[in-house]
Structure 1
Amino acid sequence: MNAHSEERFTAEVYGKRLERAAELTRAAKLDALLITPGPDLRYLIGSGAQSFERLTCLVIPASGETASVVIPKLELASLSGSAAGELGLQVLDWTDGVNPYRVVKSALNAGARVAVDDAMPALHLLPIADTLNALPVSATPVLRQLRMIKDASEIEALRRAGAAIDRVHARVGEWLRPGRTEADVAADIEAAIVEEGHTDAAFVIVGSGPNGASPHHEKSERRLETGDVVVVDIGGPVEPGYYSDSTRTYVLGEPDPEIASRYAELERAQAAAVAAVRPGATAESVDAAAREPLSRAGFGDNFIHRTGHGIGLSVHEEPYIMTGSDLVLEPGMAFSIEPGLYFGGEWGARIEDIVVVTEDGCESMNHRPHGLAVV
């Protein structure tokens, strides 16, 4: 598939999502959902419309009646790649000089209790609240239930994304050479991410030597040196918008025995966490499975972040795999497993795969070797 080709799910898939959204809205004792451009709108109707000062808003009645799209007439073309037409959505277009918030109100019953997505800008939220004479509530409790459990079509999209980023990691060794800067390597990786099927490179972390001890270091003009441990954390969206995210750790030349020994503990921790993923387990128990081997080896204080985050149409979304989360895992949940070790001023390492919960365990979306890759 061409890296920039458009792909979306069938109208039947989007229709079922809208039906489910209405059901959950009723269950939450709300009358409607108001969804502005962002991952939620893309999830519900396949629209990649952008948010501007002019309001675009999907109105989903809890009653199950036909949803409406309030949209500026000059942005109508943004619906052409969505399922709006096939779904028979009511399109309420408006022109400059018309109050779009009153158009939204016209699509609602009087006194309607509405919820809005978290991506709605204040420049739209406040006028909507004023027009409805009521402050909307957050739609997160409804949308979380919708997006956290991936259906078969979404899981297949995540497989494609995982395979695409695996192909990039297979090439990273070509670019890691003493004397090159992290920025040099990052530029090559960014190009490869697109070449291997992503729409764009959403993020590229190349953390060499002491920079690898900072989990969210991006890139710098530091030049790679023989013996450096290099953390490479990369990802991007693959049509229809589902993200890859995978981290592997490389070393320039044979690693110091102590580094190799510590990295082996990280491998054991990542494998233990993956083995702990199954329906009925809690997010916290998976996080604990990653921490226990590292704590036993004396490196508990060197693992300084959560074990994982959900992924889909957003790079980071629910569920979050961390201490204190009693969320019970269910088939279809997709998230990263990414324990790391960080030694300030020296080096760092991380291993990250995306997994999807299955009926009896989990399926990994990534299949590159986990070992410290010598280049």
Structure 2
Amino acid sequence: MKRTVFRGGTLFDAVSLTAESADIAVENGWIVDVGSGLDGDEEVDCTGRGVLPGLIDCHVHLTMTGSDVVESAQQPFSLQFYEGARNMAKTLAAGVTTVRDAAGADLGMRVAQERGLIPGPRMQISLNMLSQTGGHGDPWWPSTCVLDLLPPHPGRPPVIVDGPEEIRRKIRELVRAGADVIKVATSGGVVSSGAGPRIPHFRDDEISMMVTEAAAAGLHVMAHAHGEGAKAAVRNGVRSIEHGHFLDDETLAMMAERGTWLVPTLSAGVGLRQAIESGVPYPEHIVEKIQAPSESSVRRAVDAGVRIAMGTDAPLYPHGENLLELELLVEHGLSPADALHAATLSAAELMGLEATLGSLTPGKRADLVVVDGDPLDVHDLGKRVLAVYQDGRAVHVADRDPVS
């Protein structure tokens, strides 16, 4: 059995939130030792470089490309899967070795990655997002046409539901189709024809049914949620709040008490504003929602003791540029080490993967990201990724395998 030593790098310790020089020994895809002067059959020289655990993005949409919803809805149905393969490769090359897909990817994409048919991050999938009639995921538009960014197919069930019993059946359909997590919109959103973020969706009995039925299958619920919709989601036991604008003190206190995670997706707002500036032809009512004053709750959430995990909402900011989120988290009150923790051990804990991912610890998968310079400097970190290893195998080396 070949033993590879990654020698002399400055390792980010996601447990202590520090970075120190050490070697990492890897065998058969797993970390077997961390220390000084380790022996091996092969050596990777990491002197003068930082080494991070494989990064984790808890909110992506791999089958979506770009932020022009009208243009995307006019593409051939199967194109999403080819673009998804490219987006997976871009994400992996950015140092993101694991993702939670928040609607879009189906079981076939996950299995293709697991079998090595296509390069990409390992993934948990939600398939699609539960929405009430007229909610954030309802593809109906006022013109009475349907503009569905996630059209249903045998591997991605339709998800417009009303009432607890419809929800019970739908979650069972999603589980049958391979969902690893249940996604719901408990408030309105920005890039949809319906209500804005401050309007709550679904009632308590409906959200409670989602959590109960998901739990029966051993799954958690992630909620696209803002304001009062987030409060209802937390009150009824969801695992994480995605985006999470307009969270009041009561909601944040409940989140801290119950251990509910916040996945802020700060990159999404940057991407949407850039899309408007570049001339993407959003309908006026969507432009108004994008440009409306909004308040990120990250700084107050940190102060309240809410746990933060990294998520980007790519492609609202492009796939492959996921690490901008780390800089934005720092701008919103996290230390660089805490931002890295949000993208490593915190994210692994949110996804229930902390036993095998999230830190450079013996007994965990050998997902490693080698970066130029100090690993605790998150500024332009995405541009400093030199090599990415997944299960101990090099899956990206800068300037050798560019992803176009």
Whether TM exceeds 0.5 here: the answer is no
Q: What TM-score does the superposition give when structure 2 sets the normalisation length?
A: 0.27
Comparing both structures, which one devotes a greater share of its residues to helix?
Answer: 1
Q: What TM-score does the superposition give when structure 1 sets the normalisation length?
A: 0.29
Bigger Rg, structure 1 or 2: 1
User: Using CA pairs below 8 Å that are at least 6 residues apart, which structure has the higher relative contact order?
Assistant: 2
